[in-house]
Amino acid sequence: MTAPDRPTGLRELTIRGVILGGVITLVFTAANVYLGLKVGLTFATAIPAAVISMAVLRSFANHSIVENNIVQTIASAAGTLSAIIFVIPGLVMVGYWTGFPYWITVAVCLVGGILGVMYSIPLRRALVTGSDLPYPEGVAAAEVLKVGNTDEGGRRNRIGLRAITIGGITSAIFALLGNLKLISTDVSTAFRVGSGGTMIGAGLQLSLIGIGHLVGLSVGIAMFVGVIISYGIILPIKSAGQFAANSDVADVVSTVFKDDVRFVGAGAIAIAAIWTLLKLIAPIVKGIVDAMASARARREGVTVDITERDIPFPIVGGTIVVMLLPIGLLLWDFVHGTALSGSAGGIIAAT
């Protein structure tokens, strides 16, 4: 028995799908970058992209679920592209960069994007198809596509697109009024706590309500706990004894937060990244083994469903090896002219 490569008669990769996916990616990447830099939150884009795609493409003839899948796959890159905000601005924060070199930034994004695609091959099996999560994003997006492919799903998609449009316009108007200073969107105050001090503030943006809905309660609770630890415990302790007779409380508290407290959060992020990397070693190995087994089965003539086929592992491994050269050049550019330049070779090799 043989399995068809794709459902017969259904259009998958189309110009309109690529254009729509590109437009959604552009909009969602801009939104993710803005919200990430402002509040440190980004949102997954595959599911809202699937809803928008189905609502838009339903107006065209010969639309299909696989075409919608291409659109949401393209748009899902917005969530990963925006992650550059957690890397590049750090070079400015530590004083290494005073601006953003355009071509170096482009090279970092390009190399990182290629590596991300290659690493997603072995990770897909471990983190999506074999995940312990009830609904990893990829699985959830697939379920949304299946439901949206029905008549009732199409009606709900139109309602969802209308809600997204109204919400976006309302949020834009609210932001415009805030930037024109016709309404207040932020309020904050600093005060003494014993021999130290702290500050508290609040901001109102409709976009934050939307992203809160997307990221969920658990992320909100984690951020709230971080606020309590930073502003309620660490900041008063670190600012104790820092106040002169006529010093401004807000200036002292802001300086201490910028110089000390912020790096505690950065350290927590770094440890979380290292821990996540260590936890991914076993899934990566398992994914590589499974991908090689699937490729071997195809070579032996065994029918493998299209959803289980991967880019051949030699291509994946070869691309990763080739990317080592530009990675080495970028690392050399980063350490060249610094105190670490004498150890550049060892740093590049270790990395």
DSSP string, 180-249: TTSS--EEEEEEEETTEEEEEEEE--HHHHHHHHHH-HHHHHHHHHHHIIIIIIIHHHHTTT---TT--H
pLDDT at 341: 67
Question: What span, in angstroms and rounded, lies between the C-alpha atoms of 223 and 221?
Answer: 5
pLDDT at 233: 92
The three-state secondary structure class of 163 is helix
The per-residue pLDDT string of the chain (351 residues; one tens digit each, 9 = 90 and over) reads 334 445 556 777 889 989 999 999 998 888 888 888 887 778 778 888 888 888 888 888 788 888 888 888 888 887 777 878 877 777 776 667 777 788 888 888 888 888 888 888 877 776 666 666 555 666 777 777 887 777 777 777 788 778 888 888 898 898 888 888 888 888 888 888 888 889 988 888 888 888 788 778 888 898 889 999 999 999 999 988 888 777 788 888 888 888 888 888 888 888 988 898 888 788 778 777 877 777 777 777 777 676 667 777 788 888 988 998 888 888 787 777 666 667 767 766 766
Question: What span, in angstroms and rounded, lies between the C-alpha atoms of 100 and 295?
Answer: 42
pLDDT at 2: 38
**Residue 165: strand pairing partners:** none
pTM score over 0.75: no
pLDDT at 334: 74
pLDDT at 81: 78
Domain coordinates in residue numbering, the chain: 1-183, 189-259
E strand or H helix that includes residue 220: helix 217-227
pLDDT at 4: 42
**Pair 171, 205: CB distance under 8 Å:** yes
